[in-house]
Amino acid sequence: MQFADILPQLWPSLIWPLIRLIFFISVGLLVANFIESFNWTSKIATLARPLIRFGNLSETAGASFSMALFSGVSANTMLSEAYEKKTILKKELILSNLFNSLPTYFLHLPTVFFITAPLIKGAAIIYVALTFGAAIFRTVTIVVLSRFLLPDTERSTPQQEEIEGTKSTTIDWKGAFTKSWKRFKKRIRKIIRYTVPTYILVFLMHRVGLFDVLEKGMADYLSFLPWLTPQSMGIITLHIAAEFTAGLAVAGALLQEGSMSYREVVLALLVGNVLSSPVRAIRHQFPYYAGIFQPKMAAELIIYNQLFRVGSLVLMGWIYFLATL
């Protein structure tokens, strides 16, 4: 088979998605560089200022939190840049990344709601409310943990004073562009060096069926949840082995026929969400994170994110399960 025959197969599944990924990471990197060049970090952080003050988080964390409402790539790029310049420590990088859970949820909320509502009707409100509650729980927990784990930011250090001093300097658009572009060229080479091989590796793992084996294996071992109905098993299996909308379509059909209640559908979707998270994090999240952070750091952040996310969803599901007995 010649390359001309292979290209049409690779373009939609590997080349074009990889180009899009690099493009959005590049845009996020440029935006983060411009914000830093103009010293806008403190202004953007205003939205989250009460939370970052209580949690002893830096203005970088606050700015990242605010940016996450519009672009997760830009938000994470700001954290990565600050960590590499040692203006934040590893502990704050991890906490700040977890802190962005709520704005990241808001970024995807319209899509989630308008997909679920037509298919599962009233159950969509319950499901979205529970996942929203889990996002709020994660953010509040991180703020409380940060208050005890991070030093009081009101006690100024020489390093902080130096950073504060740079905020007073002014720069024009040309200077900001020159500075941003210089840093962008240096950083984008590194991003491509890590992102491209990682994405190709994940693509090959998917093509050989590794993720299908993992997903089907997880779907086959649901006997440890005896309270799930047989109909729920179908929703969960499709949620894991196919995609979220496949499970929703089945749930909608079963609701329409009266075979399942709102409670059973919501619990099945929550279980499917929890069980599908790890595999989807490796498939979709790791290539993007590896382009922004060092691969080792990217893996750490994904593990913390998934453990925290799964724990919060399990908690919300348990509360809902007990409340509806």
Q: Judge whether 2 lies within some domain.
A: no
Overall number of domains in the chain: 1
Judged by phi (left if over 0) then psi (alpha if -120 to 50, else beta), residue 163 lies in: alpha
Q: Rounded to an integer, what distance in angstroms lies between the CA atom of residue 116 and that of residue 82? A: 38
Q: Judge whether 283 lies within some domain.
A: yes
Q: Rounded to an integer, what distance in angstroms lies between the CA atom of residue 105 and that of residue 134? A: 10
pLDDT at 92: 95
CA angle 307, 310, 312 (to 5 degrees): 105
- pLDDT tens, residue by residue, 212-260: 665 566 556 665 566 667 667 777 776 666 567 777 777 888 887 787 8
Nearest by Cα to 36 from 53, 60, 57: 60
Structure tokens at 106: 């808001």
Q: Please classify residue 110 by burial: count the beta carbons closer than 10 Å to its beta carbon, then call 0-12 exposed, 13-18 middle and 19+ buried.
A: exposed
Q: Rounded to an integer, what distance in angstroms lies between the CA atom of residue 243 and that of residue 263? A: 21
Q: Judge whether 74 lies within some domain.
A: yes
pTM score above 0.85 = no
Nearest by Cα to 95 from 27, 142, 154: 142
- pLDDT tens, residue by residue, 179-196: 777 777 777 777 777 777
Expressed as residue numbers, the domain containing 224 is 11-164+177-323
pLDDT at 156: 42
In the three-class reduction of DSSP (H, G, I as helix; E, B as strand; rest coil), residue 168 is classed as coil
- Scanning 121-229, the segments in alpha helix (DSSP H) are 122-149, 158-167, 173-207, 210-220
Q: Judge whether 250 lies within some domain.
A: yes
Q: Judge whether 49 lies within some domain.
A: yes
Q: Judge whether 171 lies within some domain.
A: no
Q: Judge whether 236 lies within some domain.
A: yes
pLDDT at 130: 95
Q: Rounded to an integer, what distance in angstroms lies between the CA atom of residue 97 and that of residue 81? A: 13
Each residue's pLDDT tens digit in the chain (325 positions)?
454 555 666 777 778 887 877 787 777 777 767 766 665 655 665 667 888 889 999 988 988 888 887 778 888 988 998 998 888 999 999 999 999 988 888 877 877 887 788 878 889 999 999 999 999 999 999 999 999 999 885 544 444 444 444 444 556 667 777 777 777 777 777 777 777 777 777 777 767 776 566 556 655 666 556 666 766 777 777 666 656 777 777 788 888 778 788 998 899 899 888 888 877 788 778 887 888 888 899 999 999 999 999 999 999 999 999 999 8
Q: Judge whether 3 lies within some domain.
A: no
Measured between alpha carbons, how far apart are the two ends of the chain, in Å?
60
